Amino acid sequence: MYQLYTWSTPNGRKASIMLEELGVEFEVKPVDLSANESSSTAFLAVNPHGKIPALVDTEAGRTIVESGAIMLYLGEKHGRFLGDEAQRWETVQWVMWQMSALGPVLGQTHHFYFYNKGKAPYAEERFRTAARGLYGVLDKRLEARDYIVDAYGVADMICFPWIARWPRQGIELTDYPNVLAWYRQLAERPAVQRGYAIPVSDEIPMPS
């Protein structure tokens, strides 16, 4: 049995999508970030860094934090979504790319461009330019592929919830046709839809 401490954010949704795709039983433990629950003593006992997601594997008596580690842990434990031996290392590379580049850059883009527009023009421009560059990288990767590492897996699930915030990034998905086709495909998966709506029901934004 798993317990997932999470909230309706890109990092939280990665883990809930993965658990839904695996079809395993898990208990959702909402950590309301708008009520500052990530700083509560109870949650800091789970993750001293005070960030969601956190996964407790009750049978193994283990707590895993950091969304990239959670995805790899679950993939390895269940022997799914990491690909074959060659694909596994490609998966790890894309997980690292998401964790070190896509997530941090898009997170700062939300901060400067969406939540605090006009306050720091230099930062807005810097992160929007970087965001467009990363969308370009993903678009190129998806040029002759349906999925990031050929077979649907962890690399797709970890990137999807960040791309799903395109309306906050000043991004037009139509400018990145391969990303758009990939996005539409993932958005149709029932497990992605269920995972996206955890812990608060939410629609996946779709371009018109």
Task: Please give the residue ranges that form the binding site for ligand GSH (CB under 6 A).
Answer: 9-11, 33, 38, 50-53, 66-67
Residue 31 contacts residue 55 (beta carbons within 8 Å): no
Report, in Å, the least distance between residue 96 CB and ligand GSH.
12
Report, in Å, the least distance between residue 174 CB and ligand GSH.
26
Question: What DSSP character marks residue 176?
Answer: S
Return the number of the residue (5 or 139) whose C-beta is nearest ligand GSH: 5
Return the number of the residue (10 or 199) whose C-beta is nearest ligand GSH: 10
Q: In what order do the strands lie in the sheet with 26-30?
A: 26-30, 2-6, 54-57, 62-65
Return the number of the residue (34 or 208) whose C-beta is nearest ligand GSH: 34
13 Cβ contact partners less than 8 Å away, ≥ 6 residues apart = 6, 160, 161, 164, 195, 196, 198
Report, in Å, the least distance between residue 84 CB and ligand GSH.
26
Instruction: Say how far apart CA 124 and CA 119 lie, in whole Å.
Output: 9
Report, in Å, the least distance between residue 154 CB and ligand GSH.
13
The whole-angstrom distance between residue 95's C-alpha and the CA centroid of its chain comes to 10
Return the number of the residue (53 or 83) whose C-beta is nearest ligand GSH: 53
Report, in Å, the least distance between residue 10 CB and ligand GSH.
6
Return the number of the residue (57 or 66) whose C-beta is nearest ligand GSH: 66
Instruction: Say how far apart CA 176 and CA 153 lie, in whole Å.
Output: 21
